[in-house]
Every structure is written in C-alpha cells, then in structure tokens.
Structure 1
Amino acid sequence: MTVDEYEAERDAGAPIDMLEYYFGAHGWAYERSGDDEIVATFQGSWAQYELRAIWRDDDNVLQFLALPDIRVATDKRPQTYETIGLINEQLWLGHFELWATSGLVLFRHAALIENDDGATLTLRQAETLVEAAIEECERFYPVFQFVLWADKTPQDAIAAALIETQGEA
C-alpha cells in the first residue's frame, strides 16, 4: 500500500499511530514501545538510520530523532562540536547534536501538536517530520565523515561536501 492510499484511508491519528502507518507504508522495519514511542530503521544513501519518535502527552510534543550511525571518538569531539555549530546555522527545522556520554551524532526536532481534535498528526505532517530529518542527515553525513576520517577542518568539510553541481553528466 502506498502513502497516498494510506492518506486516503486515514486523515489523522494519534502521533505514534500515524508514524506507524507511515513506516508501514514504506515497508520499513519498526517497533513500538507502548503508546508513546516508535523506532524504525531506514537505509539511506550513506548509512542506515535509526528513526525514533517519542510522544509526550503532558506537553503535546512529538520529539523526532534520526541517528545516522556516526560515533565520535573523544579526541575528535572539539572539531565535531564546531562542525555541528556551523551546520546548525544553516538549518531551519531541527538541529544536530553530539551526545557526550555515547559520542553519537543525531538530528533532533520536535513538533507541538495541539488542535481542536486533540493531539492528532496527519500523514502529511508525519511525512514532513520524517523526510526533513532524513534529508538533513543525508545532506550533512559527508561533512561529518570529512571531519572524522579525512581530518578536514569543519569549514573545508562543509565546502567540499556541499558543492552544488551544474549541468548534467
């Protein structure tokens, strides 16, 4: 079943339920942890991503995380923090973080979901939430690799990874 078929069948639902429908429509592996959390995996161009959504009913906030399988060694953390700062300046929605305890890089954003029907998420909103996270991870994954593996400066890594090509091959 395609996303359009799911949307025709279901306009809106509880946030985690709607994400479950979205992941299922794409054929992605996912697992629910109760009514307030879901974890899925997605194979991107550069890596396999863990996608995690957590619903906070008390606040009507849906937190969405995308983990692009980047782990940073302690000696590379200063350059990575600088890289994240430069990347985050370019983002309109969400931000990258480096978790100090595990050294994991992740993309995170949250959505306040409050409307007259209660806390419901439309399939279009679910799609926007997920695709924005994936697009930013895909766009900036090479930047992190240049800093971590090629010892480029954050500025050089961003310049090298985000070159816009013109014309067709």
Structure 2
Amino acid sequence: MTLDEFEAARDSGAPIEMLEAYFTAHGWTHEKVGDDEIVATTDGSWAKYELRAVWREDDRVLQFLALPDIKVAVEKRAAIYETLGLINEQLWLGHFELWSSSGIVLFRHAALLDGQEDYHLSLDQVELLVETAIDECERFYPVFQFVLWGGKSPPEAIAAALIETRGEA
C-alpha cells in the first residue's frame, strides 16, 4: 500500500479504517467488528498473535491489544504476576497484563487522539502502535514460557530470555 492509499484511509475518518488499511497492506487476516473495533491475526516467531483495536470515540482513545496465545493456569498466576511486574518495568510504551477471569496474558497500549484533526492516526502512529505491540510480545514470549513451562523463577526467566548476543558465530 502506498502512502497515498494510507492517507486516503486516514481521510476516511475513524482510526479503525487506518488500521484496516495497514492490516490489508501487510496481507494479514482481519475483520471489522462494527465501526469501532477491528481484529487481525499475524504470525510471529513464537506464536500467532491476535491484534485487536477498539476505538472509544467518547474518550478519543484507541486501545490496542496484542494477545500472544498464552493462558495461565490458576496455580501459576502468582509467578506470572511477579513476571509482569518485572517485564513492565522495562517497557517504554504499553504494558502486559493478565486477565484474571480467563488467565490470558496480553499486551495493551492506548493512544489518546484528543487534539488531533478529526482523531486521525498517521502512518507513523499506526506503525508504532502495531510494531511495538508485536515486538514486545516477541521479546518477552520466552520469559513467560520459561516461567510457565521451564520451571524458572521470574528473575531467572528474564535473565535467560534477554541475554544480549554480541558479534557473530
């Protein structure tokens, strides 16, 4: 999709249309759920991600969720809550949370569009919103797996998963 096509989507109004144009340009499966919500799926390195955006016009807020297909059993929730705290300290945009009713881990970010002309999203804003969510899910997915399946404590899982490699092998 060209910049002109993105601008045409932006000019159509709600932020959901801009996200729809972005998902289409990337060839991701997506579906609009009314005028104020869109759901897409994309494959990551570790999992398939459900991406969900909800536009709340009254608040002028676009909530963006990325669900990395992680479900936490009740007996592991205390460890995951500790893990979430350690992970969220490292994030500059958005946060991870655990939905207590379902045990689902997700990444959430909200974009306040107040003061912007007709509450439009720019191409840069859409890219930042979507790519940050996917990048953070990719970065921290192994941490959750180490805690849930690898028997590691949250600090051990973060240390093991976030090792920075230098040079080439």
Deviation digits for residues 63-120 of structure 1 (CA, Å, limit 9, x no counterpart):
0000000000000000000000000000010000000010000000100012352111
Distance 1:116 1:51, change over 3 A: closer
Q: Given the two structures, how large is their TM-score scaled by the length of structure 2?
A: 0.95
Q: Which runs of 5+ in 1 are unaligned?
A: none
2:46 alignment counterpart: 46
Q: Which runs of 5+ in 2 are unaligned?
A: none
Deviation digits for residues 30-64 of structure 1 (CA, Å, limit 9, x no counterpart):
00011100000010000000000000000100000
Percent identity between matched residues is: 69
Tell me the secondary structure at the aligned position of residue 69 of structure 2.
Answer: coil
After superposition, residues 114-129 of structure 1 pair within 5 angstroms as 114-129=114-129
**CA distance, structure 2, for counterparts of residue 23 and residue 62 of structure 1:** 16
2:137 alignment counterpart: 137
Contact kept? 1:114, 1:120, Cα under 8 Å = no
2:5 alignment counterpart: 9
Aligned letter for 2:162? L
Query: Shift of the alpha carbon at 1:124?
Result: 1.7
Aligned letter for 2:95? H
1:80 has 2:85 as partner: no
1:32 alignment counterpart: 32
The number of residues matched between the two structures is 165
1:22 alignment counterpart: 22
Aligned letter for 1:151? G
Aligned letter for 1:36? D
Tell me the secondary structure at the aligned position of residue 114 of structure 2.
Answer: coil
Contact kept? 1:79, 1:154, Cα under 8 Å = yes
1:150 alignment counterpart: 150
RMSD: 1.0
2:94 alignment counterpart: 94
